Structure 1
Amino acid sequence: MKRAITTITIALILTLAIPVAVHGAKTTSLSFTNIPLLRPDGNSEPELSIGPDGTTVYVALSWTQFFTNTWKGSFGQVPVFQGTIDANLAKNVGGGGDADVDIGSTGTLHVSTLIFFFNPQTRITQLGVSAITCPNTDTSNNFSHCTGQIIDTTQSDRQWITSDGPHVYISYHDSGSSTLIHVQRSDDDGFTFHRVTDPITGQGGATGNSTFNNDQGKLIADSFSHNVYTVWASGVSGLQKGTTANFNNIYVTVSPDMGKTWTPHLVFSGTVNVALNNVFPALAVDPLSGTLYAGWSDAHHVFISKSTDQGNTWTSPLAVNASPANTAVFPWIAARGSTVDYVYYGTNASSKDDPRAVWNVYMAQSTDGGSHFVQSTVTAHPNHVGVICTNGTGCARGTRNLLDLFQDAIDPLNGLADIIYTDDTLTTQPDGSPLPQVSVAFQTG
């Protein structure tokens, strides 16, 4: 969340470290076209979703205002700015804290953003979760055909949204008292929501109940199996709970009954206090087979593990990045058929904390279901120079311009990658500091 504004095969194992296959991708030269989406207020932490007909919606957090900028387009076209989708949710409510976007199989656009509002009883600014629904992905006339609502006001953080037919799910952290993950479900394509069971309640020693002890990644409703999955990093309950966010375990939790019950599966257990949340762990589901791919970064390599049995067992992790991306962070994965596209920010420096590090966007592509990867450079020029901090709001100014994530997706009509990322080298603020912007990259070959 942005708070400061600028003026295996792995069975379920609880404690054992798991060997890692360090192969790295070969390098090649897939080609990309990069299109900057410049805005006077700047943007960061972009996301995208591609609908069944190829319609694509992009969102990004305004850098200087409290709202979420939104674009719409089709593959290879310059996205058209639609406006600020969460600017008019309610009186005296600001948006743009976090955002996630989903175009469902019904053609409906679902967006959830983190909102800011003043609580007159506590006299503090609180964080809540919005749900915005646009039938037929109609964003015209300043989103006049969309319905917006606030579904939680009890201090929330980092929400995600996903759908399977008319069933829409939103997950988010309880940031006020526990950091437990909550989930709400809609059964009418996003117009009304109700709470379902929390995904990680009651796992006892496996997660220490994950109170103040987890970092949640993407929530995914799988249209193939109709399961719902969430990925998260967690620490060791007796050692790390409430004391450090250097989470060394990656879990995927599965619900086969639309959020009524959840079962956790350990994907990987690493060395204690070696953080695998740089930043969010990633999760993708192949919509054609239900195969799962989990990804994470230890601040040096990005890894991938695969499950073909609905998350019960996982392959040994494979390190994906290769030179010149010697250090890689911000993993994200898209999968469709035998193609797996894994994107990350990479540098030839040995540490993400090197002030001289020069960063680019990379994509490692597998065409054999994640067994082998070939790495390509996406960006035509570096998108960031200097430190990339992954400590959230504790980061020094200028080290978190890229915020916490960027995304890719595979176009269902042509099988090519669509990527949206942050670049803080394009424009500056009045004081000369970078004004981050977002750019879209289309795979062209």
Structure 2
Amino acid sequence: MKKFLLLIFVCLITTAALAANLSGTLTDNSGPASISWNGGPLTGALGYGGLLGLSPPCNSTICDIYNLTLSIPSNFYSSNPNFAVHVKVGWNSNIQDIDVYVFDVNGNLVGASATGGTISEDADLGQLPAGSYTIQIVPASCVATSYGGTVNMAQEPALPMGKAQYKLGNFTFTSQVLTRPPQTINNNPATPIFFEQDAEPRVVHDPVGNIYVGAIQGVPAGTDLWKSMDGGNTFTYLGEPDGTQAAAAAGAGTGVGIGGGDEDIDVGSSGKLALASLWLGSVTNSASSDGATTWVTNPFASDLPEDDRQWLAFYGQNVVYLTTKQLGTLDNSTLTIYVVKSFDGGITFPQVAEVTKPALGVQPGDQGNIVVDQNNGNVYMVFIGAYPNQVYLAKSTDGGLNWLLKLIYQSPSGTSLQHVFPAIAIDRGGNLHVVFNDGRRSLLTSSRDQGASWTTPVQVNTGANAKTSVEPWVVAGDVGKLNIFFYGTSASDFMNPNAQWQIFMAQTPNAFRNVPVFYIKPATGVMHKGAICVNGTACPSGTRNLLEYFFPDTYMDGNALAISRRLARKPEHHHYATLVPQTDRRHAHFGNAMM
């Protein structure tokens, strides 16, 4: 559709000007003020490359250009502290798509709205200073579309209304491919989904700055592990802790492990490591107390048969919580979440607790990660309910013995939030932050009171190249300060076979503001082309190449550590985990993230 629209667009602009140059002044009236105009018709199919620059340049033959003068005294916002400026446009059909970008006289982006799939855009500019601004009304994907535009200055709602401001992040990133020797065992798999893939990568760091990266090869090929002792400049491949690490170190072969279906890795306060690796029959947990040199491996760590999607988290030096979704053999064929607890760094897990109780009417869908508040020992996890429009929090205040469940968000009936895993993080103040996805939008909600109440969810992704987002993940630092990563594309459907995907980072220094600000920038170029299916093994062939998630971190210096999967050009070739570290520390405002 976009190629067709672009062809129409190119043909039409050669014969006539399709857009206009407009202007207006918004003047202080000691209260609310607004100016309105009607614009279009607009025809085109173009967008900003992740808010970085429009090609071709947006001018009055392509876009509507509205030259705004904001005339207010210097003390206006001190007298009206809850006022803000919004630019809104509306049109008649959600088949058409118009975006809004606002720039100051120096060409700096001061606000944008580019959501897609709607009949309106609302660029929240906050307390915009007096001056001259250029509003670009961009035909992202439309034909002969007219619209109504408004700039208004008014008091913001007293309560959060699910709105956010979006600004360009000044972040810079680099990338490093993590290589490994070719497998010498099981190197001719019957099904390529299970071998040579290094998928669903996870990155963590320990208290002295060592960085560990894990990635799955698939059952029974095990989980790969790498370590950096120089802040991520170089990495050493350590083999597969759940299988052939010793053999690989001796040069005898790689490629077998009691696991590799899913993995998670975490680090304790003294540097101990735990790596959980799924093999469906149970979960293999590998524990190391010497920096991943040697491991003690327990192939039945979950204590339960037929598990799926395990996550783990350390508390202090020796306590490890491991959670799994049990596939029905224990509770009359109903899915149930369990948590087991280790007191010896992940070697044994003697404590078993049932989290969701089907007899009481709560069953899980997709289950997110587990986290522990290092200040008080509270344990939290997040999951989608059996009804896919529900997000639940599970909380334990007694060391994982008993669990309370709370419905923290419910979207309208008929909608689905089950687009792979929700994710939860704890900031250094003990506040909770949850991200989830509705198939287009990545959403954030936060809690100041240990999960008792939650902010209205706000959309994280915006911009022409992030109209659709999937698989968000959140990392928390100081109070209210978050890094959120997601896959973003300009396509309107995550199953679009021509979609081009990038990894984006959205950072907010103020998640608890009534209108939080997100600084957004791509962390990568296009790293995947095609669909990203989120239905697990039910996905059509060739649409699940990235699998279900990537799990980032924030390093000791405040820089983000993203992690991705680098796909080979040919399916039969090896796919590699790729570290994508931030290199600038701009807008970071992060101390060490919570463990």
Pair in the same fold by TM > 0.5:
yes
| 1:437 aligned onto 2:576 | yes
Distance across 2 between alignment mates of 1:29 and 1:186: 42
- CA drift of 1:63 comes to 5.7
| 1:96 aligned onto 2:260 | yes
1:21 corresponds to which residue? 162
Distance across 2 between alignment mates of 1:38 and 1:63: 17
| 1:269 aligned onto 2:433 | no
CA contact (8 A) 1:427 1:435 kept: no
The alignment partner of 2:170 has SS state of coil
- CA drift of 1:202 comes to 6.3
- CA drift of 1:232 comes to 0.3
- CA drift of 1:440 comes to 0.4
Distance across 1 between alignment mates of 2:580 and 2:533: 24
CA contact (8 A) 2:319 2:342 kept: yes
Equivalent residue for 2:171, pick from 18, 30, 36: 30
* TM-score, scaled relative to structure 1: 0.83
- CA drift of 1:27 comes to 2.6
Query: Greater relative contact order (Cα 8 A, min sep 6): structure 1 or 2?
Result: 1
CA contact (8 A) 1:173 1:179 kept: yes
Residue type at the aligned position of 1:340: L
Distance across 1 between alignment mates of 2:209 and 2:284: 25
Residue type at the aligned position of 1:209: V
1:52 corresponds to which residue? 207
Larger radius of gyration: 2
- CA drift of 1:153 comes to 5.2
1:133 corresponds to which residue? 287
- CA drift of 1:373 comes to 1.1
Equivalent residue for 2:438, pick from 279, 293, 298: 298
| 1:354 aligned onto 2:496 | yes
1:314 corresponds to which residue? 454
CA contact (8 A) 1:282 1:294 kept: yes
Equivalent residue for 1:363, pick from 479, 492, 505: 505
Render the CA deviation track for 1:261-300: whole Å, top value 9, x for unaligned: 11112221002232212210010011x2111100001010
| 1:253 aligned onto 2:394 | yes
CA contact (8 A) 1:25 1:364 kept: no
1:12 corresponds to which residue? none
Equivalent residue for 1:181, pick from 313, 337, 353: 337
CA contact (8 A) 2:296 2:347 kept: no
- CA drift of 1:70 comes to 0.5
2:519 corresponds to which residue? 374
Residue type at the aligned position of 2:208: D
CA contact (8 A) 2:222 2:257 kept: no
Distance across 2 between alignment mates of 1:25 and 1:300: 17
Render the CA deviation track for 1:375-431: whole Å, top value 9, x for unaligned: 11001x3111011100000111211010000011111x211101111232x44244x
CA contact (8 A) 1:156 1:175 kept: yes
* Count of residues paired in the alignment: 390
Equivalent residue for 1:197, pick from 335, 353, 378: 353
CA contact (8 A) 1:402 1:436 kept: no
Equivalent residue for 1:76, pick from 228, 232, 236: 232
| 1:109 aligned onto 2:273 | yes
Unaligned runs of 5+ residues in structure 2 are 1-159, 183-195, 246-255, 585-595
1:173/1:415 CA distance change after superposition, 3 Å: same
The alignment partner of 2:312 has SS state of strand
* TM-score, scaled relative to structure 2: 0.62
1:406 corresponds to which residue? 550
Distance across 2 between alignment mates of 1:400 and 1:341: 25
Render the CA deviation track for 1:7-42: whole Å, top value 9, x for unaligned: xxxxxxxxxxxx961436323331001111244423
The alignment partner of 1:94 has SS state of coil
Equivalent residue for 2:311, pick from 149, 156, 160: 160
Residue type at the aligned position of 1:392: G
1:388 corresponds to which residue? 532
Instruction: Supply the RMSD in Å over aligned alpha carbons.
Output: 2.2
Unaligned runs of 5+ residues in structure 1 are 1-18, 116-125, 237-246
The alignment partner of 2:278 has SS state of strand
- CA drift of 1:71 comes to 0.6
2:300 corresponds to which residue? 150
1:13 corresponds to which residue? none
Distance across 1 between alignment mates of 2:497 and 2:549: 20
1:23/1:67 CA distance change after superposition, 3 Å: same
The alignment partner of 2:238 has SS state of strand
2:366 corresponds to which residue? 215
Percent sequence identity over aligned pairs = 32
2:559 corresponds to which residue? 416
- CA drift of 1:84 comes to 1.1
Distance across 2 between alignment mates of 1:214 and 1:278: 10
1:273/1:388 CA distance change after superposition, 3 Å: same
Distance across 2 between alignment mates of 1:201 and 1:88: 38
Distance across 2 between alignment mates of 1:51 and 1:273: 43
Distance across 2 between alignment mates of 1:20 and 1:79: 45
Distance across 1 between alignment mates of 2:410 and 2:574: 38
CA contact (8 A) 1:24 1:320 kept: no
The alignment partner of 1:309 has SS state of coil
Distance across 1 between alignment mates of 2:262 and 2:165: 32
CA contact (8 A) 2:469 2:486 kept: yes
- CA drift of 1:94 comes to 3.2
Residue type at the aligned position of 1:51: D
Distance across 2 between alignment mates of 1:32 and 1:220: 27
CA contact (8 A) 1:20 1:319 kept: no
Distance across 1 between alignment mates of 2:522 and 2:257: 40
| 1:170 aligned onto 2:319 | no
- CA drift of 1:203 comes to 7.8
CA contact (8 A) 2:366 2:383 kept: yes
CA contact (8 A) 1:279 1:330 kept: yes
- CA drift of 1:65 comes to 6.0
1:168/1:54 CA distance change after superposition, 3 Å: same
Residue type at the aligned position of 1:105: S
1:24/1:297 CA distance change after superposition, 3 Å: farther
CA contact (8 A) 1:135 1:146 kept: no
CA contact (8 A) 2:368 2:383 kept: yes
- CA drift of 1:215 comes to 1.5
1:94/1:147 CA distance change after superposition, 3 Å: closer
